[in-house]
């Protein structure tokens, strides 16, 4: 019988081998179309993952390739996708289990790419004993093991301060402004802020279009209900562009359009980053006087979209951000300081 003695290798003074970085891009089921578009921009394939929902509602996830020491980017806006039976909360939970799976599989870093950040409108207490749900989501992401979050046009920029990990806050402002400029018919432009809280965003948008600025006097007596008073500023005989971050039920947006037209605007357009379009949104928008409505693809849209609804993709912006984060580049240099205005 031959005995083999295993000895420890002699100590070495050479430097450790350099870390060979790898990028793995995953998508959840909330909006796989934008993840595929991002993958095309990066010239890579999506990494396979198995995702399903059990009959009791629990979400299952299995990463189908090794992610050890890789930078894992998980694209999952926390929006519903009726085609696969996914609710907002399902999408959020699916993101959490995907992050946990990547952490357990020894990923080097896990970056949550959330073009739409659910619960962002619950960023403060408006009445006693209310939760600050946007902060709770931040804590959940951190607890799950995310090392970084990438998102677009937060409802309130201060949500970034609720995180202890880096947040890359990207805006679609320039993208939307360029598309609106293509559509407008030549009259003088005026950008209309739907409320006082959107003034800073709308000033930046107006600067992009070399347009004037007006503000709507709006009150919100209860959740998802808004009352538009009057227009502060001159919109007469101008093409008015109402700029917001979200179109939800579209009730506020349509009331704003009516107020602007009554104030003498020649035409009215609308633009927003996140077209949630819940409830009676489609019916409301069909009945509104909008020439065109310009949105992005941060969330999944119904296939029977409106004829005047134009979708521009933010995949290139997100892909460039992913490339910069992966390579250690600068997102602010890539998009300019305006990327962080909200």
Catalytically annotated residues: 218
Long-range contacts of 202-205 (CB under 8 A, 24+ apart): 202/243, 204/173, 204/338, 204/341, 205/173, 205/176, 205/177, 205/241, 205/243
Q: Is the dihedral of CA 286, 86, 153, 314 positive or negative?
A: negative
Taking each helix axis from N to C terminus, what angle separates 199-209 and 173-183, rounded to the nearest 10 degrees? 50
Is 64 exposed, middle or buried, given 0-12, 13-18 or 19+ CB atoms closer than 10 A? exposed
DSSP state of 121: T
CA gap 216, 298 in Å, rounded: 26
Residues 6+ apart with CB under 8 A from 166: 147, 148, 149
The closest of 329, 335, 250, 342 to 288, measured between CA atoms, is 250
CA gap 132, 255 in Å, rounded: 28
CA gap 159, 111 in Å, rounded: 17
Contact of 30 with 78, CB cutoff 8 Å? yes
Chain centroid, CA 156 distance in Å: 12
């Amino acid at each position: 019988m031959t005995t083999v003695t295993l000895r420890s290798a002699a100590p070495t003074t050479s430097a450790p081998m350099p870390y060979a970085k790898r990028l793995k891009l995953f998508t959840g089921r909330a909006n796989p179309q934008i993840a595929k578009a991002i993958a095309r921009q990066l010239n890579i394939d999506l990494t396979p993952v198995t995702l399903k929902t059990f009959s009791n509602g629990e979400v299952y996830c299995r990463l189908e390739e090794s992610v050890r020491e890789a930078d894992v980017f998980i694209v999952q806006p926390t929006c519903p996708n009726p085609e696969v039976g996914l609710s907002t909360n399902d999408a959020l939970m699916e993101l959490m289990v995907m992050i946990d799976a990547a952490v357990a599989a020894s990923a080097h870093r896990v970056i949550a790419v959330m073009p739409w950040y659910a619960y962002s409108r619950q960023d403060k207490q408006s009445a006693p004993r209310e939760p600050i749900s946007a902060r709770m989501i931040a804590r959940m992401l951190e607890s799950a093991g995310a090392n970084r979050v990438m998102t677009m046009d937060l409802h309130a920029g201060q949500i970034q301060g609720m995180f202890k990990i880096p947040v890359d806050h990207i805006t679609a402002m320039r993208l939307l402004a360029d598309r609106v400029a293509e559509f407008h018919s030549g009259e003088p432009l005026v950008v209309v802020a739907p409320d006082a809280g959107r003034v800073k965003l709308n000033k930046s948008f107006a600067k992009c279009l070399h347009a004037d600025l007006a503000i709507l006097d709006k009150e919100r007596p209860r959740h998802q209900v808004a009352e538009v008073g009057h227009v502060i500023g001159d919109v007469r005989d101008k093409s008015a562009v109402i700029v917001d971050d979200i179109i939800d039920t579209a009730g506020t947006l349509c009331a704003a359009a009516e107020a602007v037209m009554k104030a003498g605007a020649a035409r009215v357009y609308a633009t927003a980053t996140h077209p949630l379009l819940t409830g009676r949104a489609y019916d409301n928008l069909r009945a509104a006087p909008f020439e065109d409505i310009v949105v992005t693809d941060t969330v999944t849209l119904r296939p029977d979209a409106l004829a005047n609804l134009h979708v521009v993709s933010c995949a290139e912006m997100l892909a460039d951000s992913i490339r910069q984060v992966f390579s250690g580049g600068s997102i602010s240099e890539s998009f300019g300081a305006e990327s962080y205005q909200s």
